[in-house]
Amino acid sequence: MPLIVWLGSAAIACALPIGWWALSSDRQVSERVNKNLSEYQPTMRAAALERSAGERFVGPLARQTGHALLRFTPGGWYKARTTGIAKAGLTGRVTPEQILGAKVLVPILLGGLLALRVSSETTGTSYLVGISIIVVAFFAPDLLIRSRADRRADEITRVLPDVLDQLTISVEAGLGFEAALARISQTETHALAEEFGRLLQDVQLGTSRGAALDTLATRSQVDDLKTVVLSLRQAEALGVPLAKTLRTLALEMREKRRFRAEERAHQLPIKMIFPLGLCILPALFIVILGPAVVSFFEIF
C-alpha cells in the first residue's frame, strides 16, 4: 500500500479517540456546571428575596423609566449627574437613569394621591399646596444628591489635615505610599478613606499612580484635595522626597483649617442677628415692658 494511505489511516485512528475524549470531557464539564448551578440556584434565589423591595422593584423601575426618558434630557445633563453622583460617593449604587426616573415617578405618584385626597375638597389652597408638593418632589432627587455631595466634601476637607499627618508618619516610618494609603483605608471609616480605597483599586487594575490621583481629584471635587494631588504630581515629576512634600502639605492644610474656623467664628455675630431680633428680643421686651404696660392701663 502507498505510504500516504498508511499515514491517513494512522491519522484517522489517532483522531477518533482524541475526538471521543474531547466530546466526553465537554459533556462532563457541562454536567458539572449544571450540577453546580442547580446547587446554587436556591441560594441565589434566597439572596435575591432577602433584598428589600426597593432594590428588587423600585430601583429597576426607576432605572428603566429614566433610560426611556434619557433621550429627552438636555445636553450635558447625564455628565453633570454622573459627576454629582461620584462627588456624593454613590457611584455603583445610584445611576443618572434612576434619578431621572425618580424625578418623573415620584411627582406622578404624589399627584395621584393628592388628586384622590382633594377630590372632595376642590379649593384654591388645596390646588396650590398640591402643585407645590409636586414641584418639590420633582427637584427632591437633585437636592438630596447635592446635599449629600456637599456634606461629603465638607467631611473630606475636615479630615484631610489629619490624614496627611498619618501619611507623613507612615512614609517616614518606611512604608510605601500605597501601603500608607491602604493602612488608612482599612483603619478609618470616613469619606476620604473610601476614596483612598477606590484609588488603590484603580492602581491594582493597572492604572498609574498619577492617573489614579487625577481621577480621585476629579471624582471628589474638593479644592484642598485637588491642591494635594497637584503637589504630589509635581513632587513625583521633580523627584522631591515624598515625606517632605506630605509634611509641607499637612502644615498648609492645618493652617487652612484654622483660618476657616476663625472665619466661621467671625461670621457668628452676623448670623445671630436674625435669631436675636426675631426670637429673643420680643420675648425680652414682653418680660420687661409687660408689667409696666399693665400698670399704665390700671392707672389710666
Q: Walk along the chain (300 residues) and give the pLDDT tens digit of each residue.
A: 455 544 445 555 554 555 444 445 445 556 565 665 555 555 555 555 566 655 666 677 777 787 777 787 887 888 888 888 888 888 878 888 888 888 888 888 877 777 776 666 666 677 777 788 888 888 888 888 999 999 999 999 889 898 899 898 888 888 888 888 888 888 888 888 888 888 888 888 888 888 888 888 888 888 888 988 898 888 888 888 888 888 988 898 899 888 988 888 888 888 888 877 777 777 777 878 778 777 777 776
Distance CA 285, CA 71 (A): 60
Q: Is 0.85 surpassed by the pTM of this model?
A: no
For the chain, the domains span 57-151, 153-270
CATH of domain 153-270: 1.20.81
- Which residue in this structure is represented by grid cell 517616614? 172
Do residues 184 and 167 touch, judged by C-beta distance below 8 A? yes
